[in-house]
């Protein structure tokens, strides 16, 4: 019995904001058809929070007004539809003018229409008349003290004033005593606490908003913002894994909708999700570099071991790693008196490849030329010098290098391998020359 009574009481007060527009004693018309159009505009169309929904709501409200030309609540609601349409910042002045027009119409027919006061308050706010905007919202609450929408608007204004957070919190909690299932209040509270840097409270209310979205029917698509804002809070706290979870949940829920700000919302979430992935990658990169630097200290003279670490560094596609770690290691390995000749050759090619990746071709060629000056018969160095000379337009010099390379083929660079490499597109410029054809025999 107690459980049943609790359910009935909750049903009476819960979702007051959602059910407000069903109450004929507040927003009804003497014309039943007009009231039917009115309810259809809200529950079937504007509640989708989409551009198409707003357009359809506008259509049905105008039908309602055609049926009842003195329908104050319909004029006020139509003004709120134009207010909603201003959010995309397209033709904003016209929409604000229409919002003002319908607020004035609503007040002319019924001076005690709370929605009309909140609507006109928004106009005054944009006209920079802050005092009048707040007074109109207080009047709206005085006219309809149990209309939760007026409290949310007043709380938003206090939040925007930056120095009135206590007032915003006060009105949001008053709202929640009227309707504990009015989910937007949880998001607004979380935003206030976030701006006050009271992060634990902000996270608590974002979680409450998410629970609301998951459990209260019908679902209010605007509540998806809680996933996004919680992700932002966690991102700033460098809790990247947790932030990524909420961004991904947001994207999953938002993608199939027709939400009026969907594209902007998705863009922001993807951008922040990328920041999470980048930060996580950076953390692993730091761990990777630190580990390998420690390994290098433990094996400062072991050439093959250092070469293995150099291989690891090269696998990371970041110029900063190449510049700061791999390049000095390759040079150290190449210069060491303890490094075997074959490892010095590999270190030379690593340094050469790194410099090319860093778009420093002049330095890269100089590395090969310096090695060639000390070891003039190495076929790998000669072949690469020949290839690069041909590519840079120095075909005659390149063919000379290639001829020398052919003369010094060995067990590493075989004749078959040499000829196979010559078939590549890098040698298209000299393919018809006699000197090139001679290299193939």
Instruction: Provide the pLDDT for residue 211.
Output: 93
Q: Is residue 364 part of a domain?
A: yes
Long-range contacts of 228-235 (CB under 8 A, 24+ apart): 228/265, 228/268, 228/269, 229/187, 229/190, 229/191, 229/194, 230/190, 230/203, 230/206, 231/269, 231/272, 232/272, 233/194, 233/199, 233/202, 233/203, 233/206, 234/203, 235/272, 235/275, 235/276
Quick: pLDDT tens for 291-330: 777 877 787 777 777 777 777 776 666 777 778 888 888 8
- Final residue before a domain boundary, out of 159, 181, 203: 181
Q: Is residue 229 part of a domain?
A: no
Q: Which tokens hold the place of 168?
A: 């915003």
Instruction: Provide the pLDDT for residue 418.
Output: 87
Q: Is residue 169 part of a domain?
A: yes
Q: Is residue 155 part of a domain?
A: yes
Q: Is residue 209 part of a domain?
A: no
- At 15, is the pLDDT very low, low, confident or very high (cuts 50, 70, 90)? low
For residue 341, pLDDT over 90 is answered with no
CATH number reported for the structural domain that contains residue 158 in this entry:
1.25.40.10
For residue 240, pLDDT over 50 is answered with yes
Instruction: Provide the pLDDT for residue 372.
Output: 92
- Mean pLDDT value across the chain: 86
* Cα distances (Å, whole numbers) of residue 236 to 142, 197, 276, 300, 385: 40, 11, 10, 40, 51
d(CA 252, CA 264): 15
Can you give the length of the chain in residues?
A: 441
Q: What pTM was computed for the model? A: 0.67
Q: By residue range, what is the domain housing residue 151?
A: 2-181
- Final residue before a domain boundary, out of 143, 158, 181: 181
Quick: pLDDT tens for 342-366: 778 888 888 888 888 888 888 989 9
Question: What is the number of domains present in the chain?
Answer: 2
């Amino acid at each position: 019995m107690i459980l049943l009574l609790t359910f009935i009481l909750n049903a009476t007060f819960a979702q007051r904001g959602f059910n407000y527009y069903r109450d004929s004693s507040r927003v009804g018309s003497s014309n039943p058809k007009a009231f039917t159009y009115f309810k259809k505009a809200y529950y079937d169309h504007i509640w989708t929070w989409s551009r198409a929904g707003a357009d359809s709501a506008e259509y049905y409200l105008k039908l309602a007004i055609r049926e009842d030309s003195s329908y104050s609540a319909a004029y006020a609601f139509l003004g709120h539809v134009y207010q909603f349409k201003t959010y995309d910042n397209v033709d904003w002045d016209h929409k604000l003018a229409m919002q003002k027009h319908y607020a004035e119409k609503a007040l002319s027919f019924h001076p005690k229409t709370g929605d009309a006061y909140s609507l006109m308050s928004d106009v005054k706010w944009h006209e920079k008349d802050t005092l009048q905007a707040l007074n109109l919202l207080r009047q709206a609450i005085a006219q309809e003290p149990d209309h939760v929408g007026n409290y949310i608007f007043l709380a938003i204004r206090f939040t925007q004033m930056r120095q009135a957070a206590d007032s915003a919190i006060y009105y949001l909690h008053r709202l929640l005593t009227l309707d504990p299932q009015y989910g937007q209040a949880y998001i607004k509270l979380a935003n206030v606490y976030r701006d006050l840097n009271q992060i634990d409270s902000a996270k608590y209310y974002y979680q409450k908003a998410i629970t609301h979205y998951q459990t209260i029917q019908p679902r209010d698509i605007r509540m998806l913002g809680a996933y996004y804002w919680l992700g932002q809070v966690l991102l700033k706290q460098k809790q990247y894994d947790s932030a990524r979870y909420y961004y991904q949940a947001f994207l999953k829920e938002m993608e199939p909708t027709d939400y009026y700000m969907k594209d902007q919302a998705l863009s922001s979430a993807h951008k922040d999700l990328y920041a999470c992935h980048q930060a996580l990658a950076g953390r692993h990169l730091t761990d990777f570099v630190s580990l390998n630097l420690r390994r290098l200290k433990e094996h400062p003279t072991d050439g093959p071991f250092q070469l293995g670490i150099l291989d690891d560094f090269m696998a990371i596609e970041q110029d900063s790693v190449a510049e700061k770690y791999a390049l000095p290691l390759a040079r150290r390995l190449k210069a060491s008196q303890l490094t075997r000749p074959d490892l010095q050759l590999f270190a030379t090619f690593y340094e050469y490849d790194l410099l090319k990746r860093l778009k420093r071709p002049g330095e890269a060629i100089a590395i090969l030329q310096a090695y060639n000056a000390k070891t003039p018969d190495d076929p790998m160095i000669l072949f690469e010098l020949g290839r690069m000379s041909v590519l840079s337009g120095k075909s005659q010099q390149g063919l000379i290098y290639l001829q020398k390379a052919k003369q010094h083929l060995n067990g590493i660079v075989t004749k078959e391998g040499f000829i196979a490499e010559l078939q590549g597109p890098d040698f298209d410029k000299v393919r018809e020359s006699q000197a090139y054809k001679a290299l193939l025999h």
